């Protein structure tokens, strides 16, 4: 699904998988009972299922949420990831 957004690099790291356009926009970190999803974009969202939103720069916010089963992947979730991809794609390498 995420690969359909456009050009990106995907790399496995010790604790998960990182997705980068020009900068890292998404991190997936598996845990025993859930998948931690972390994404960065230009807007702050605090509605469910987002557990935490932190401003990491003047114009960028990091979001953390948990996915416990595939039924939680809805259109809103996909839209957030697309927005994160598009936001991070604007930065030069």
Reported as a pLDDT band with limits 50, 70 and 90, residue 80 is very high
**Statement: residue 58 has pLDDT above 90:** yes
Rounded mean pLDDT, 35-53: 95
pLDDT at 91 over 80: no
CA torsion 82-88-91-93 (nearest 10°) is: -110
| 85 vs 41: CA distance, rounded Å | 8
Mean pLDDT across the chain: 94
Residue 28 predicted with pLDDT over 80: yes
Query: What per-residue confidence (pLDDT) applies to 1?
Result: 83
């Amino acid at each position: 699904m995420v690969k359909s957004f456009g050009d990106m690099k995907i790399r496995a790291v010790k604790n998960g998988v990182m997705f980068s356009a020009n900068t890292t926009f998404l991190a997936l970190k598996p845990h025993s009972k859930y998948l931690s999803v972390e994404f960065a974009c230009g807007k702050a969202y605090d509605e469910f299922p987002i557990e935490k939103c932190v401003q990491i720069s003047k114009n960028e916010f990091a979001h953390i949420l948990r996915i416990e089963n595939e039924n939680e992947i809805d259109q809103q979730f996909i839209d957030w990831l697309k927005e994160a991809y598009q936001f991070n794609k604007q930065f030069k390498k």
